[in-house]
Structure 1
Amino acid sequence: MKIRPFFSLVRACCAHLVLVLAMALPVSNHVMAQAPVPFTLYNNSAYADANVYVGIVGIVNDNYVWINPKTGAVNLMSPSNNTVPGPVINGNMGPGGNGLYANCFARLSEIPNKTVSIPGIKGCRILISFNSQLFLYFFGASGAPSGYAAPNLANPTDPNQGIRYEIIEVANAPNGLWSNTTRVDGYHYPMGLEVWGNGGFYQKVGEILPHNQILSLWQANAPAAFAACYDATNGIIKCPSKTTAFLSGAQSAYYNAYVDAIWARYQNNNLVFNSGDAGTWSGRVSGNVFTFTRASDGKVGVIARKPTNIEVLEGSGALATGEALDKVVQAQLCAAMNRHAIDLNLPAGATQDVGTPSKYYKLSPYNWYSSFWHRTDITYQGKSYGFCYDDVFDQSSTINASSAIRATVTIGGFAGVGQTGPVTVYKDCNYTGTAVNLTTGNYTLGQLNTLGILNDDISSLKVAAGYKVTLYQNDNFTGTSLTVTADDACLVDNGWNDLATSLKVEGNTTTGNIIQAENYNFMSGVDVEATTDAGGGQNVGWIDAGDWMSYEVTIPSTGLYRIDYRVATPNANMVLRLEKDAGATQLGAVTLPNTGGWQNWGNAAHTVTLPAGTYNLGLATTTGGFNLNYFTITAAAGARAQTQAYKPVPEDNAVTLTPNPVSEQLYIRGNEKVKVLGIYSLGGQEVIKVKNPGNTLSVSSLTPGVYIVTIERKDGTISKTKILKQ
């Protein structure tokens, strides 16, 4: 039986990257030996580091390669790398016919200092996925076939269905580092990107709102033509060309009338436009061919035929064919049509203004999907890749640093990030000017120098709540030291500004610290808003019955602890519940006072027994109807021991359930390790129990709500998690 391929060979997500390099500087087929650039991955997401996966693929010296995120080693792609079993959906065993995929991903928690080194490379993608690695297939480094097969979520048998993922595109080339976030193929999760370079260079791009607010804005504002881009099941937004509506449905002729009018208008008149650095062009249609001539030198660029609806959206086919100058005019026309920047009412021969962003996205039809990502309340400075030629007139999220020093990828975007990492190092005591952001880890003098920090550069520090920095006078992290926690510290004041040659950034113990409610690592059903409580910032609101949040805490020793909550509610008898082990272990509950309003703040507290260790602490409710600003954990008298309820699960024995939230089918990755899988209501009632489950499980019979899943493995370990049935 012939099995339909689940995805095609990868092509550049955005044709822009090759085009930009070609226009800026001729680049040979071989990538020259560029200085590697460290990319630090800062996790500002709702996912724990162990649930974030990173893979890096690209081309070095005309060979397809993958970079080991844990070691930085550059490896040639080979079919022998395909050793990871993937989901088999409707019998699709993948290109290899055996259901195996590339073993090229690492958990963020496994990457030293959460930093990967990107060498001289082109066509590079940093792939970031959540709760599961992506399932790529490697064909080989060169020859035919070569490269890799990437996700194609338009195909229902793709093994990556239900996996949330994002992409950072990179080229480390002779004319500098080129990097960008992208919305060209869709939106799964907010992302941020910052690049630092010599000479004080700094640029920043990415989303500035949390994921749930972005989805809410889309649903509230999307016109009917683009409504189908929203995938409610997976909580993602697809680009129009990946939806049935634009491929073959009601919007399959969305651009046709506009394209027809352009081709008809310029049969007997010239279309004139200024493309910026590439000059002024004048073109006319003959037959179906649109031929343009550049005013400065008479060079010619051609569009061989009218583009189709999908070709306008994707910048493909007739808009991505031919020689370099053909592609210049094709990029310009593609951008102008997506933005509806060609005014058909201008007099014949008048120069079109296609380079003024304030005039974009005003007249129908236009690419509303792209315009959404250029909203300045969603995206930093409105710079985004909404379609593949969004770099025309510098509207894209491309950052080009001619001499890059380092970069930071902020997973989850910049929402709620006052500083990019747990620690910011400044070169003065005013907490201004040139700054370097550090994530958790140990930094020797050599590593600090690579990041652009010398020992006499460290004049002041900003340390985020929940973290501490220990400064040392040697590279062994021993001897005389200075520890700074959750505060600003001017090292000039204590004479340490020219003494520190290494430092350690680590999480501080939770007890005694304020835990902001919006800093959850997982949640279900809640949202955040600005608070009027003292200190400002945000609180968590829209808390309904069944909603929950979880927070990673560090408890130094087993014993009694007082939990104080800062709450606001106009309701009486609202109950907040403290739990762990995904709700399987109930620690205590507290009835909240009626404070008289959603922003009238008061306090509630109870005393509970907490075990020692670092784990996720959950806040849940059966009533909802209140806001939460923060909570604190402080030691109480009379501590007593408490044993752990079950053995922890080793990382290499992980079983993952996707998608979550789930509507119909739950995919079980690692099912061969499972002895018994049980699903329980929050009240503890068993609703599903399966021995030796397969890789899929139907949950369509469950009523919508939150359920606890208990997984008993064949090696005796037990784990619990939550799923949200939609």
Structure 2
Amino acid sequence: MKVRPFFSLVRAYCAHLVLVLSLAVSANSQVQAQSAVPFTLSNNSVYADANVYVAVVGIINDNHVWINPKTGAVNLMNAANNTVPGPVINGNMGPGGNGLYANCFARLSEIPGKTISIPGIEGCRILISFNSQLFLYFFGASGAPSGYAAPNLANPTDPNQGIRFETIELANAPNGLWANTTRVDSYQYPMGLEVWGNGNFYKKVGEFIPHSQILSLWQSTAPADFAGCYESANGIIKFPSKTSAFMSGAQANYFGAYIDAIWSKYQSGDLVFNAGDAGVWRGRVTGSVFTFTRASDGKTGTIARKPTNTEAMEGSGVLASGGPLDKVVQAQLCAAINRHAIDLTLSTGVTQDLGTASKYYQTSPYNWYSKFWHRSDISLNGLAYGFCYDDVYDHSSTVNASSPIRATVTIGGFAGATPTGPVTVYKDCNYTGYAVALNPGTYTLSQLNALGILNDDISSLKVTAGYKVTLYQNDNFTGASLVLTEDDACLVDNSWNDLTTSLKVERTSSSTVIQAENYTYMSGVDVEATTDAGGGQNVGWIEAGDWMAYDITIPTTGTYVISYRVATPNSNTSLRLEKDAGTTQLGTVTLPNTGGWQIWGNASHTVTLPAGTYSVGIATTTGGFNLNYFSITSASGARVAVQPSKAAADNSVLLTPNPVHEQLYIKGNEKIKALGIYDVSGHEVLKVKNPANTIGVSKLVPGIYIITIEHKDGSQKKVKIFKQ
């Protein structure tokens, strides 16, 4: 039978990324002469090292090569490497016709030090798969055909169907290391990337929340046009053009009207835009050809015709052809289409600013898939490769280190890897660069160095309320000193970033932290996993009128500082502290817009609390925020105690696992009178009275469900689960 082919090397992933990583290397350079860069693979996933498979492929001196992960040896690709039997799906025996594929993968547990030395190379990919190696086919090092056949998500007979994998793309070139995480073809698992270089260079990109939370966010927010990108069977999210809806179905002409309007408007007037270092361009459509002229030198770049929907989304075909200047304008137009950055309401001839991120993804149609990966509560600093030309105006996850020293790939992303401690030290101003947490104690220069902190590397610190940090000029806690009791965004401003040789972290007052999910009673809220320091859960789904109650003990009447750890993308939100079932108002605080549901900040107010053991409530008339914890700090330093919640202890019920596939296990089922499962539309899909300790959920459609638990004592609780 005739089967659909794999992608060849030049078709795999994204032609633009191949071009970018290739152009980083001079055409005549001997790339292998570059100093090798060690890439360490840190496993922050749910998969054991023995179930994580790694391969490295790329191009050296115009030859397609693979690097043995176990030895670091560079090998020319050869059809003789195809010795591993692979799956045969609907008769597809692969390019070799024999069902054999390249023996180029190693288990992470087999890689010494989990580190691979990457020499000078271009078009390189570190391929990481789970529970199985990928089945690549090697054609050869040069000639035609050459390179390798990569996984093709659009081919239902591809032997890699159902195998979860991720990719790090890179080039180790004469002008430095270029590397990035990518969502250009799909999202399959969180990934993180860190690069260190000379001159104190450091950059970190990638996702920082768990896989299950990313899938949950997608399902709860994706519009109907993009809902089909989620593949529930494998728990992955495909790039739109890899789905049937965008290939030949209802969304096959998703950008069509927008593209038609652009080509029509600029037949009678000019589109003018500033491409930054590439200059100001003025273009007009003649026939179907869009021709642009650069103002500085009169040189031209063209787009030969209107792109198809697939070409616009992928940056392929007519948007990836011709000479370098053609590709400059093609990149700009492709990015502008995906972001809907060309404002058709402006008059022709007016210079358009296509680089203002606040204008992206505001007017339909736009690439919602790409917008999702730029969420600042998913990807660090909102940087991601959501489509091929996402590096236009530097919004991609590309890292370029001119003099690289080392790199770390974090498999599973950075979820739960946030440093914890009352003081966090950062290499750069504004809380960026490496982050090292410090607990109360003293730190000499040698101890700081052992933690990876150099005395001239401290540029900003975060100090939690109730603590202080003292910086000393000398190594024995003497000499000039600087005391900080709150965040200091840039020590460069007061010339202390290069003076510190020892420091001390101390508690300044008595403070008790109360986790938000440890409420005695609540109304209308739910809990979820948090990405804030320390992990655990936060309370979410807080809407106007919702509340949580907590039992506390206050030893003496006095003034107390209540500090709340909150996250919200909204402005003008607030909460109030109250007692006596709301009849006594203790104080209200306005919450800062932190920029996202998992981007955390602090808000505090001073209140007067009476002595005794009683319940306090946190309520809101606005809602629209998440709460991780709050602290009660005595201004006089008196001890503050929290009264354990007997009701919470008596009603402790745990549902596992979450996400769940077939069986939901219930710890504490003997305390449950009835349990109901509801879909996100509020429809009851299952009702169980006096449930056993397991419930079968295999027949439920994958997605998000709300479980309402009615305890035998009359109290109720809501829990959100994700069905895989």
Residue in 1 that maps onto 2:450: 460
Tell me, in whole angstroms, the C-alpha distance in 1 between the residues paired with 2:132 and 2:434: 34
- Distance apart, 1:12 and its partner CA: 5.2
- Distance apart, 1:71 and its partner CA: 0.6
Tell me, in whole angstroms, the C-alpha distance in 1 between the residues paired with 2:527 and 2:232: 17
Structure 1, residues 407-426: CA drift from partner, whole Å, max 9, x if none?
Answer: 00010001110259xxxx99
Tell me, in whole angstroms, the C-alpha distance in 1 between the residues paired with 2:384 and 2:201: 20
Contiguous gaps of at least 5 residues in structure 1: 438-454, 464-491, 494-525, 543-592, 604-619, 627-681, 685-701, 706-723
Residue in 2 that maps onto 1:649: none
Map 1:417-428 to 2 at 5 A: 417-419=417-419
Matched positions, count:
490
Q: Secondary structure at the match of 1:47?
A: coil
| In the alignment, structure 1 residue 387 sits paired with structure 2 residue 430 | no
- Kept in 2, the 8 Å contact 1:335–1:390? The answer is yes
Residue in 1 that maps onto 2:271: 271
- Distance apart, 1:154 and its partner CA: 1.1
- Kept in 1, the 8 Å contact 2:193–2:204? The answer is yes
Tell me, in whole angstroms, the C-alpha distance in 2 between the residues paired with 1:3 and 1:261: 38
- Kept in 2, the 8 Å contact 1:32–1:174? The answer is no
Determine what percentage of the aligned residue pairs are the same residue: 69
Letter in 1 for 2:647: G
| In the alignment, structure 1 residue 597 sits paired with structure 2 residue 648 | yes
Structure 1, residues 155-183: CA drift from partner, whole Å, max 9, x if none?
Answer: 11111011000000010001100000000
| In the alignment, structure 1 residue 538 sits paired with structure 2 residue 536 | yes
Structure 1, residues 133-156: CA drift from partner, whole Å, max 9, x if none?
Answer: 000000111111110000002111
Tell me, in whole angstroms, the C-alpha distance in 1 between the residues paired with 2:340 and 2:348: 18
Tell me, in whole angstroms, the C-alpha distance in 2 between the residues paired with 1:539 and 1:239: 30
Residue in 1 that maps onto 2:487: none
Tell me, in whole angstroms, the C-alpha distance in 2 between the residues paired with 1:427 and 1:315: 37
Q: Secondary structure at the match of 1:597?
A: helix
Tell me, in whole angstroms, the C-alpha distance in 1 between the residues paired with 2:52 and 2:85: 19
- Distance apart, 1:622 and its partner CA: 3.5
Q: Secondary structure at the match of 2:33?
A: coil
- Kept in 1, the 8 Å contact 2:193–2:205? The answer is yes
Tell me, in whole angstroms, the C-alpha distance in 2 between the residues paired with 1:157 and 1:24: 35
1:175/1:459 CA distance change after superposition, 3 Å: closer
Tell me, in whole angstroms, the C-alpha distance in 2 between the residues paired with 1:416 and 1:280: 44
Residue in 1 that maps onto 2:375: 375
Residue in 2 that maps onto 1:240: 240
- Distance apart, 1:32 and its partner CA: 4.9
- Kept in 2, the 8 Å contact 1:55–1:67? The answer is yes
Residue in 2 that maps onto 1:122: 122
Structure 1, residues 370-411: CA drift from partner, whole Å, max 9, x if none?
Answer: 000000001000000000000000000000000000000010
- Kept in 2, the 8 Å contact 1:595–1:602? The answer is no
1:461/1:531 CA distance change after superposition, 3 Å: closer
| In the alignment, structure 1 residue 623 sits paired with structure 2 residue 666 | yes
- Distance apart, 1:120 and its partner CA: 0.2
Tell me, in whole angstroms, the C-alpha distance in 1 between the residues paired with 2:385 and 2:81: 32
1:133/1:292 CA distance change after superposition, 3 Å: same
Residue in 1 that maps onto 2:142: 142
Structure 1, residues 467-520: CA drift from partner, whole Å, max 9, x if none?
Answer: xxxxxxxxxxxxxxxxxxxxxxxxx99xxxxxxxxxxxxxxxxxxxxxxxxxxx
Residue in 1 that maps onto 2:358: 358
| In the alignment, structure 1 residue 62 sits paired with structure 2 residue 52 | no
Residue in 2 that maps onto 1:529: 529
Contiguous gaps of at least 5 residues in structure 2: 437-444, 454-474, 477-525, 541-643, 655-662, 670-691, 702-721
- Kept in 1, the 8 Å contact 2:40–2:409? The answer is yes
Tell me, in whole angstroms, the C-alpha distance in 2 between the residues paired with 1:9 and 1:346: 41
Residue in 2 that maps onto 1:344: 344
- Kept in 2, the 8 Å contact 1:258–1:365? The answer is yes
Tell me, in whole angstroms, the C-alpha distance in 1 between the residues paired with 2:33 and 2:447: 29
Residue in 2 that maps onto 1:194: 194
| In the alignment, structure 1 residue 415 sits paired with structure 2 residue 466 | no
- Distance apart, 1:460 and its partner CA: 3.2
Letter in 1 for 2:41: L
1:190/1:99 CA distance change after superposition, 3 Å: same
- Kept in 1, the 8 Å contact 2:175–2:402? The answer is yes
Tell me, in whole angstroms, the C-alpha distance in 2 between the residues paired with 1:166 and 1:128: 5
Residue in 2 that maps onto 1:585: none
1:36/1:600 CA distance change after superposition, 3 Å: farther
Tell me, in whole angstroms, the C-alpha distance in 2 between the residues paired with 1:46 and 1:199: 35
Tell me, in whole angstroms, the C-alpha distance in 1 between the residues paired with 2:55 and 2:136: 10
Tell me, in whole angstroms, the C-alpha distance in 2 between the residues paired with 1:51 and 1:179: 25
Tell me, in whole angstroms, the C-alpha distance in 2 between the residues paired with 1:462 and 1:295: 49
- Distance apart, 1:91 and its partner CA: 1.3
Structure 1, residues 424-474: CA drift from partner, whole Å, max 9, x if none?
Answer: x9999xxx998699xxxxxxxxxxxxxxxxx979733499xxxxxxxxxxx
Tell me, in whole angstroms, the C-alpha distance in 1 between the residues paired with 2:364 and 2:103: 46
- Distance apart, 1:624 and its partner CA: 4.2
Q: Secondary structure at the match of 2:370?
A: helix
| In the alignment, structure 1 residue 31 sits paired with structure 2 residue 40 | no
Map 1:297-696 to 2 at 5 A: 297-419=297-419, 459-461=449-451, 529-530=529-530, 537-538=535-536, 596-597=647-648, 622-624=665-667
- Distance apart, 1:200 and its partner CA: 0.2
- Kept in 2, the 8 Å contact 1:335–1:392? The answer is yes
Residue in 1 that maps onto 2:625: none
Cα RMSD after superposing both structures: 3.9
Letter in 2 for 1:328: V
- Kept in 1, the 8 Å contact 2:194–2:408? The answer is yes
Letter in 2 for 1:159: P
Structure 1, residues 22-45: CA drift from partner, whole Å, max 9, x if none?
Answer: 777754365251000001111111
- Distance apart, 1:268 and its partner CA: 1.0
Residue in 2 that maps onto 1:587: none
- Kept in 1, the 8 Å contact 2:204–2:433? The answer is no
Tell me, in whole angstroms, the C-alpha distance in 1 between the residues paired with 2:205 and 2:25: 24
Residue in 1 that maps onto 2:488: none
| In the alignment, structure 1 residue 217 sits paired with structure 2 residue 260 | no
Map 1:224-263 to 2 at 5 A: 224-263=224-263
- Distance apart, 1:92 and its partner CA: 1.1
- Distance apart, 1:19 and its partner CA: 4.7
Q: Secondary structure at the match of 1:183?
A: coil
- Kept in 2, the 8 Å contact 1:178–1:401? The answer is yes
Tell me, in whole angstroms, the C-alpha distance in 2 between the residues paired with 1:148 and 1:215: 31
Q: Secondary structure at the match of 1:347?
A: coil
- Distance apart, 1:14 and its partner CA: 3.1
- Distance apart, 1:345 and its partner CA: 1.0
Letter in 2 for 1:301: G
Q: Secondary structure at the match of 2:281?
A: strand
Tell me, in whole angstroms, the C-alpha distance in 2 between the residues paired with 1:227 and 1:344: 28
Letter in 2 for 1:460: A
- Kept in 1, the 8 Å contact 2:341–2:359? The answer is yes
Residue in 2 that maps onto 1:291: 291
- Kept in 1, the 8 Å contact 2:195–2:399? The answer is yes
Residue in 2 that maps onto 1:154: 154
Letter in 2 for 1:376: S
- Kept in 2, the 8 Å contact 1:170–1:178? The answer is yes
- Kept in 1, the 8 Å contact 2:119–2:172? The answer is yes
- Kept in 1, the 8 Å contact 2:12–2:150? The answer is no
Normalised TM-score (structure 1): 0.62
- Distance apart, 1:11 and its partner CA: 3.0
Tell me, in whole angstroms, the C-alpha distance in 1 between the residues paired with 2:530 and 2:123: 41
Structure 1, residues 663-707: CA drift from partner, whole Å, max 9, x if none?
Answer: xxxxxxxxxxxxxxxxxxx999xxxxxxxxxxxxxxxxx8679xx
Map 1:51-90 to 2 at 5 A: 51-90=51-90
Residue in 1 that maps onto 2:501: none
